[in-house]
Structure 1
Amino acid sequence: MNWIDHALKHEANRRRLLIAGAGLAAGAAAAVYAPYTLGQAEAQQTSYANPVVWQDFADVEVIRVGSDFYMTASTMHYSPGAPVLHSRDLVNWEFIGHSVPKLDFGAKYDLNGGRGYVRGIWASTIAHRPSENRFYWLGQIDFARSYMYTAANPAGPWTRHADLPRAYYDAGMLVDTDNTMYVAYGNTQISVAQLSADGKTEVRNQQVFSTPSNIGTLEGSRFYKINGNYYIFLTRPANGQYILKSSSPWGPYTLRQVLLDMPGPIPGGGVPHQGGLVSTPNGAWYYMAFVDAYPGGRMPALAPITWTADGWPQVTTVNGAWGQTYPFPNLTPHPVPPLTGADTFTAATLAAKWEWNHNPDDTKWTTGNGLRLQTATVTNDLYSARNTLTHRIQGPSSTATVELDLASMRDGDRTGLAMLRDASAWIGVRRDNGVLRAVMRDGLTMDSNWNTTGTGTERATADLCDTRIWLRAKADIRPGSGRQAQFSYSTDGATFVPLGPNFTLNSNWTFFMGYRFAVFNHATQALGGAVTVKRFEVATP
């Protein structure tokens, strides 16, 4: 049997089963994956390219359970939060769920009397506890306190397990070989907490390290026990990585530099850093970092790790840099559906690739026969409008096309496809006095406190004579391209007409999240209108 036949047979068998992570009990509850089309099979992979995921997944942590790998990432104000991705080979990744089903941390996350922009899910941590066959996710919210969610299956459902009174900043969780749970956390001053046996309270807390002033800031803890030694993996944002080593979780710890100012694999991007370490079943080690590549965001990149004789990790470089390519891990390549593609919203729930801008009003949307978005907010400010649905852009260049049924729009309604960030633009449709017009609008801006400073300027319009429209936004984040978005529309789904000027994407890092394609529908006069998203597709050249 050749490799492709073997891979397809393995894939078909796997997708008949319910996934729960290798090492979990046979038949344990898990997610049912959609069938994988045979025509999507890939040739045998002998190498891989960085970034391994060309989408915005920041502050990543990767864990292995048996022969399955799981990854979590920051999502800030997007809901559901803390995505969980799955892989069998560390290179091919797919969404399976979210650890935080709803940002249930206050009304501002509902866009109700406030906003949660650049708050919410920061660097968090995921772990598996073999004694329970259970997954734990821990995150600090608003610098105030930490929340623990657990699940029997990483695909969910996840439920809140405990609200811990201490705020574990940039936490990394360790389940020790004796089943004790520890959390490493902090900024510059690094501490370790021991949790109770049930993980609901703290039983001990101790500062274990103070960062030397000549290094500056260390944060983004990841906590490991490897060959009897304890390691705390720390980032020096945004250009370095360090590691602490001790024979005890409580120290004393010795510090060593892992990398500093190492050239990264993305042209025009930053230094790979943060993230964490993970081993394969055969004992090989890898470092999954992220690379700042704004305006797209922070992209996961993977490099092999070797260990010195005295137990320190070293990044395998290519000509002194983080490699743009490396040999494929000594694992069977496991093709998965791409993170791009089309969605016609025929399922009863949204696919895990979708995240709302803040929590949605669940009374104002339905899916199954297209995605019906009723107006949920009366506002002239897109940043204040609820039920804006987002999809990460695919680097280095991608195009989103959305097909909309406008028949149920009402006067004053605004719907469309946005390039969404703290500086935004959109193409869409406005209805006024019973007339539909295609519109391109830019100049939607926020200040450094994420308050709206501009609701936009209409730059171009076009008459419409039908209630069906296709909207398109192309985002190019390559350096030298001008890093611009282009907007166009179609009335037949085939011929697209440019509308408005190109929009220069904001490359500033301070919003943290990269640009997203966003579908919205809000009212400016009164609620009651609706649109139906018939199809949404993200494609690459």
Structure 2
Amino acid sequence: MSWLERPRGRRGVLTAAAGLAAAAATPIGLPAAAHAAAPGAAPAAAPRPARPAAGQYANPVLWQDFADIDIIRVGDTYYYSASTMHYSPGAPILRSYDLVNWEFAGHSVPVLDFDAKYNLNGSRGYVRGIWASSLAYRPANRTFYWLGQIDFARSYVYTATSVEGPWSRLATLGTAYYDAGLLVDEDDTLYVAYGNTTLSVAQLSADGRSQVVSRQVFSTPSGIGTLEGSRFYKINGNYYIFVTRPANGQYVLKSTSGPWGPYELRQVLLDLPGPIPGGGVPHQGGLVQTQNGAWYYMAFVDAYPGGRVPVLAPVTWTGDGWPVLQLVNGAWGASYATPDLPPPPRQVEPMTGADTFPGPGLAPKWEWNHNPDNSKWSANNGLTLQTATVTYDLYAARNTLTHRIQGPTSTATIQLDYSGMRDGDRSGLALLRDASAWIGIKRDNGATRVVRIDGITMDTNWNTSNTGYEVAGASVSGGRIWLRATADIRPGNGRQVTFSYSTDGTRFTTLSPAFTLKNDWRFFMGYRFGIFNYATLGLGGAVRVERFELTAS
């Protein structure tokens, strides 16, 4: 998914397009519902999803921001890759044994070394970087492959024999494979499906280091508009390219004559009510077959301010080889029967809980805002953050460490030793997006205060438009503080975050007012918790984060 996605998917076009699409290609599954749940249009009182019955799973299967899904199975294990844009390391990989419970496993892109702007050192790469990319497994050499394009300039291939890494760059390709889907064919040939509206297929060399040939295979009918987000499959001898119409539809192309087509188009869903109250239409994701032969479609739902959240539904197939999404009362189900799979070899690590940063590295649930300055941080039974930037601008400060927010509501608490701060330093816990706020410590003239900062904003070019202002504060001493943020990220306008602090870890004091989250889609990524430490006068100060804890509610 890219910023090209939304401008072509305006709601006013959808009704006419639905009729034209039906004429151009026979819809499969149930007819498209006459409903479009546009992101940002949710009522302020959107309810929480209902709990599933016994033997069922609830959607969303994971309420965190993991967009542009690619999902694969290797043996009895499922892997899920997602976009990260300017966050580093990039392209996280999740792991599951049942398609419902997921854990962090690693990242395909260890560092965003594509351009100097990703270092956040005089320039910035906000809303650039890693967009929709692809994860595949090659049985012939027992290797995982990640492929993605960066900045519309070129594509990169990374490989690893384990998803935990180490991952290394295999190739830089001169073609920008936009929204790529990588297919390892049964004969071990590597193919890439890609494009926006005009869709193409490329064949890569046997070693994956170069392109052999590329051909256009499909041109989207004007009545449909945009198709992108390719996922490429070979199923029962047929070739399929699974594509999305942003941000309200999903289509599939099928060829019975090989990877080069010709391809026939059918509609999978359009304007389908989703399972997240107040959220958008499920779209842009991938198909996966279980070891027991069942098929599932993992898509995401636009659920701002939290981001784009994954949902799961079973799929069946018609006798002539077309996928049919299984609906519940004409909608993507809020719950379905739990996949019939063998017992997992172990329980996955929960997405919530505490981290005391045992070191020497960071758990894969953490991602930096742009590439970090690795000389300015360390982890060893606590996270030490030295000041890495002299600035008054949170968006320009290096080494801000981010964590996704757990929905529908969750609380992040950090235990911070601020005794090593110097005059002019700022450190704390932020709600980070293109409109941000934080609670933390200001040290000025030898004194420390806990403060609430609001009004930190970006313009539409992702340049800082306001560095923020203090809305509340109090004097503190002792060198240690607990900082807390409780965030409501249910889709809708007016969702809020409350900030509080404690000097003993038990009694917390709220610093009002609450911060109202921005509910616009244009930044693409949802809000994150961010832990930061920057200087306004000179480098040399440091803080120690002794503990981070995320609890869901």
- Structure 2 SS opposite 1:59: coil
TM-score (norm 2): 0.89
What percentage of residue pairs aligned between the two structures are identical? 71
Task: Kindly state the Cα deviation for residue 113 of structure 1 after the two structures are TM-superposed.
Answer: 2.3
| Residues 363-394 of structure 1: CA deviation (Å, up to 9, x unaligned) | 00000120000000000000000000000000
2:131 corresponding residue in structure 1: 122
2:186 corresponding residue in structure 1: 177
- Aligned counterpart for 2:285 among listed residues 266, 275, 280: 275
- Structure 2 SS opposite 1:58: coil
What one-letter code is carried by the residue in structure 1 that aligns with 2:504?
Answer: D
1:387 aligns with 2:387: no
Distance in 1 (alpha carbons) for counterparts of 2:264 and 2:152 = 28
1:293 corresponding residue in structure 2: 303
2:315 corresponding residue in structure 1: 305
Distance in 1 (alpha carbons) for counterparts of 2:304 and 2:143 = 36
Distance in 2 (alpha carbons) for counterparts of 1:240 and 1:532 = 47
Distance in 2 (alpha carbons) for counterparts of 1:115 and 1:245 = 41
What one-letter code is carried by the residue in structure 2 that aligns with 1:343?
Answer: D
1:256 corresponding residue in structure 2: 266
1:408 corresponding residue in structure 2: 420
1:489 aligns with 2:501: yes
Q: Which runs of 5+ in 2 are unaligned?
A: 1-51
Q: Tell me the number of residue pairs that the alignment of Structure 1 and Structure 2 aligns.
A: 499
- Aligned counterpart for 2:171 among listed residues 159, 162, 170: 162
Distance in 1 (alpha carbons) for counterparts of 2:468 and 2:349 = 37
1:347 corresponding residue in structure 2: 359
8 Å contact kept, 2:304–2:490 = no
- Aligned counterpart for 1:58 among listed residues 67, 71, 81: 67
- Aligned counterpart for 2:217 among listed residues 208, 211, 217: 208
Higher relative contact order (CA 8 A, sep 6+): 2
Q: Which runs of 5+ in 1 are unaligned?
A: 1-42
Task: Kindly state the Cα deviation for residue 273 of structure 1 after the two structures are TM-superposed.
Answer: 0.2
Distance in 1 (alpha carbons) for counterparts of 2:105 and 2:253 = 32
1:457 corresponding residue in structure 2: 469
Task: Kindly state the Cα deviation for residue 457 of structure 1 after the two structures are TM-superposed.
Answer: 1.1
| Residues 318-375 of structure 1: CA deviation (Å, up to 9, x unaligned) | 1000011000001135332210110011132100000000000000000012000000
- Structure 2 SS opposite 1:109: helix
Distance in 1 (alpha carbons) for counterparts of 2:492 and 2:373 = 40
1:447 aligns with 2:462: no
The 5 A counterparts of 1:309-320 are 309-320=319-330
Distance in 2 (alpha carbons) for counterparts of 1:120 and 1:198 = 25
> What's the RMSD between the two structures over aligned residues?
1.2
Distance in 1 (alpha carbons) for counterparts of 2:480 and 2:397 = 23
8 Å contact kept, 2:306–2:491 = no
1:265 corresponding residue in structure 2: 275
Task: Kindly state the Cα deviation for residue 481 of structure 1 after the two structures are TM-superposed.
Answer: 8.2
1:152 corresponding residue in structure 2: 161
- Structure 1 SS opposite 2:196: coil
| Residues 467-518 of structure 1: CA deviation (Å, up to 9, x unaligned) | 1000000100225783111101000000110113111101100000000000
Distance in 2 (alpha carbons) for counterparts of 1:155 and 1:88 = 16
- Aligned counterpart for 1:101 among listed residues 110, 120, 124: 110
1:9 corresponding residue in structure 2: none
Distance in 1 (alpha carbons) for counterparts of 2:139 and 2:477 = 61
Distance in 1 (alpha carbons) for counterparts of 2:490 and 2:144 = 37
Distance in 1 (alpha carbons) for counterparts of 2:63 and 2:313 = 15
| Residues 191-233 of structure 1: CA deviation (Å, up to 9, x unaligned) | 0000001000000100000000000000000000000000000
Task: Kindly state the Cα deviation for residue 66 of structure 1 after the two structures are TM-superposed.
Answer: 1.1
Distance 1:85 1:44, change over 3 A: farther
- Aligned counterpart for 1:375 among listed residues 384, 387, 390: 387
Task: Kindly state the Cα deviation for residue 55 of structure 1 after the two structures are TM-superposed.
Answer: 0.4
2:6 corresponding residue in structure 1: none
What one-letter code is carried by the residue in structure 2 that aligns with 1:356?
Answer: W
8 Å contact kept, 2:387–2:535 = yes
Distance 1:501 1:233, change over 3 A: same
Distance in 2 (alpha carbons) for counterparts of 1:478 and 1:363 = 38
Distance in 1 (alpha carbons) for counterparts of 2:493 and 2:172 = 46
8 Å contact kept, 1:44–1:333 = no
Distance in 2 (alpha carbons) for counterparts of 1:66 and 1:479 = 36
1:8 corresponding residue in structure 2: none
- Aligned counterpart for 1:431 among listed residues 426, 431, 443: 443
Distance 1:132 1:320, change over 3 A: same
1:22 corresponding residue in structure 2: none
The 5 A counterparts of 1:20-39 are none
Distance in 2 (alpha carbons) for counterparts of 1:358 and 1:135 = 25
Distance in 1 (alpha carbons) for counterparts of 2:367 and 2:89 = 6
8 Å contact kept, 1:418–1:519 = yes
1:364 aligns with 2:376: yes
8 Å contact kept, 1:171–1:221 = yes
8 Å contact kept, 1:307–1:314 = yes
What one-letter code is carried by the residue in structure 2 that aligns with 1:348?
Answer: P
Distance in 2 (alpha carbons) for counterparts of 1:196 and 1:82 = 24
8 Å contact kept, 2:391–2:397 = yes
1:519 aligns with 2:531: yes
Distance in 1 (alpha carbons) for counterparts of 2:482 and 2:163 = 36
TM-score (norm 1): 0.91
- Structure 2 SS opposite 1:383: helix
What one-letter code is carried by the residue in structure 1 that aligns with 2:416?
Answer: L
8 Å contact kept, 1:446–1:453 = yes
Distance in 2 (alpha carbons) for counterparts of 1:129 and 1:274 = 23
Task: Kindly state the Cα deviation for residue 444 of structure 1 after the two structures are TM-superposed.
Answer: 0.4
